[in-house]
Amino acid sequence: MTNFKRTRTVKVGPYTLGGKNPVRVQAMCNTDTRDAAATVKQIIMLENAGCEINRVAVPDMDAALALGKIVRKIHTPLVADIHFDYKLALEAIKQGVSKIRINPGNIGDAERTKEVVKACKDKGLAIRIGVNAGSLKELKKFSGTPNWSDKKWAQIMVREALEHVNILERLNFKNFLVSLKSDNLNRTVLACEEFAKVCAAPQHIGLTEAGTVKSAIALSRLLGEGIGATIRVSLTEDPRKQVRCAYEILKALGLREFGPNIISCPTCGRTQVELAKEVAKLEEAIYSDPVLLKKSTGKKIAVMGCIVNGPGEARDADFGIAGGRGEGLWFEKGQIIGKIPQNKWLKKFTDKIIKG
Ligand code: SF4
């Protein structure tokens, strides 16, 4: 059987997704899109945390009309998430987004679909077809949830995704990605794997409302098989965590380098310092400042709980601190350099990251 894991490529703003290109990280805002100022503020925070593509919900025309104000103030491609209203899609395109998420089979009238596709073609925009297990057409035939096997769920997801794919391909439109998501790990993985066997479109991968553990397992498996051009980790928390978690998965698989490797000890009876608090302060500083983030990428930074074992246990760190009561020993490559009062740890770390 043909295997399309080496997919064709799709342009989204400055990025080329798919093929051999880096897997890009995206997040979805949880602000009200009509509140452009709040949405811009959140996107800038996400950008500072390393997010490369941002998506916003477009539930009505006011939200669509706010997109231009948002696009003009951010630095990353914006994706407008539209369910079926072609007028919202056309307005989002007019307002300058880089990609729309819409399922062509849900737009209704063929002329409307043609109009949306033509507008995307004219502006070089991308489309994401998004098939979610919870909103499959096939489910309408059942009053409750059907008793399908995971394989059957996956087959139906793929079949419905291909219906949308065929509509775009008949209109000679190829700048699209496809996502097949469920909150069920097996169904998602099976659907993405099956789809990769039959269609060369790159995939946006993720689960719906899944949390970090399920996302890490499912996405690692797919990425390990070469499936996934862009990822989004769905979390019901600060959206910056979507970005951190996505990068942690990509870093663990050796697919992207991003931010430092912070080595902190698990703490024990020897610990005399609030280590978790110090690690959280350091992470917050790095992941909210693009300069610190860039300069710390690839560095191993240790934050250890005691001077007895800390420097030794973190011998291969580039630099770090081993905590004592009210102070810590600064060490570089396992060698102790000097003492730092606890209230100066953060400054010492940030200065070292900046100055090298
Ligand atoms: S580095 Fe020190 S405080 Fe941390 S776990 Fe090891 S012995 Fe305990």
Query: Domain spans of the chain?
Result: 10-252, 261-355
Report the separation in Å between the CA atom of 250 and the middle of ligand 1, taken as the mean of its atom positions.
29
To test ligand 1's pocket by mutation, which of 275, 313, 321, 325 has the most ligand atoms within 8 angstroms of CB? 313
The dihedral through the CA atoms of 9, 158, 142, 210 has a sign that is: negative
pLDDT at 1: 42
Q: Whose CA is nearest to atom 5 of ligand 1?
A: 267
Residue in the block written with tokens 């990025």: 15
Report the distance separating Cα 328 and Cα 322, nearest Å. Answer: 5
Task: For residue 313, give the ligand 1 atom closest to its CA.
Answer: 1
Q: Which H/E stretch holds residue 12?
A: strand 10-12
The pair phi, psi for residue 200, each rounded to 5°, is -85, 5
Pocket probe mutation, ligand 1, options 275, 307, 308, max atoms within 8 Å of Cβ: 308
Distance in Å, CA 320 to ligand 1 centroid: 14
Q: What mean pLDDT is reported for the chain?
A: 93
Say whether domain 261-355 belongs to CATH 3.30.413.10.
Answer: yes
Structure tokens at 307: 């001077």
Q: Which atom of ligand 1 lies at the shortest distance from residue 306's CA? A: 2
Give strand pairing partners of 329.
Answer: 322, 339
pTM: 0.89
Task: Show the low-confidence residues of the chain (pLDDT under 70).
Answer: 1-5
Q: Which residue has the tokens 């090298």?
A: 356
> Which residues line ligand 1 at a C-beta cut-off of 6 Å?
265-268, 270-271, 304-306, 308-310, 313
Which of 355, 259, 273 is CA-nearest to residue 322? 273
Closest C-alpha to ligand 1, atom 1: 310
Task: Measure 300 CA to ligand 1 centroid, in angstroms.
Answer: 18
Q: Is 24:242 a contact under the CB 8 Å cutoff?
A: no
Q: How far away, in angstroms, is 293 Cα from ligand 1 center?
A: 27
Contact status, residue 59 vs residue 35, Cβ threshold 8 Å:
no
Q: Which CATH code for domain 10-252?
A: 3.20.20.20
Q: Residue of the nearest CA to atom 7 in ligand 1? A: 309
Q: Give the angle subtended at the CA of 28 by the CAs of 187 and 66, to the nearest 5°.
A: 135
Ligand 1 center from residue 325 Cα (angstroms): 14
Q: How many CB atoms lie within 10 A of CB 170?
A: 13
Q: Whose CA is nearest to atom 6 of ligand 1?
A: 309
- CA count, 13 A, side-chain hemisphere, 305: 13
> Which atom of ligand 1 is nearest the CA belonging to 307?
2
* 345 CA distance to ligand 1 middle (Å): 18
Length of the chain (residues): 356
239: CB partners within 8 A, 6+ apart: 27, 28, 29, 30, 42, 46
What is the per-residue pLDDT for 77? 98
Beta bridge partners of 262: 301
pLDDT at 238: 87
Q: How far is the CA of 279 from the centre of ligand 1 (A)?
A: 14
Sheet of 204-205: strand order equals 176-181, 126-132, 99-101, 78-81, 53-57, 24-28, 230-231, 204-205
Using CA positions, which residue lies closest to atom 2 of ligand 1? 306
Find the 260 Cα to ligand 1 centroid distance in Å.
21
CA-308 nearest atom, ligand 1: 2
Given ligand 1 and candidates 264, 267, 278, 303, which is best to mutate, with the most ligand atoms within 8 Å of its CB? 267
**How many angstroms separate the CA atoms of 184 and 207, rounded?**
8
Query: Residue 265 CA: which ligand 1 atom is closest?
Result: 4
How many Å apart are CA 184 and CA 214, to the nearest integer? 9
Chain segment 173-209, per-residue pLDDT in tens: 999 999 999 999 999 999 999 999 999 999 999 998 7
The predicted pLDDT at position 84 comes to 87
Domain pair 10-252 / 261-355, same fold? no
Which one of 263, 270, 303 would you pick to mutate in the ligand 1 pocket, going by the greatest count of ligand atoms within 8 A of its CB? 270
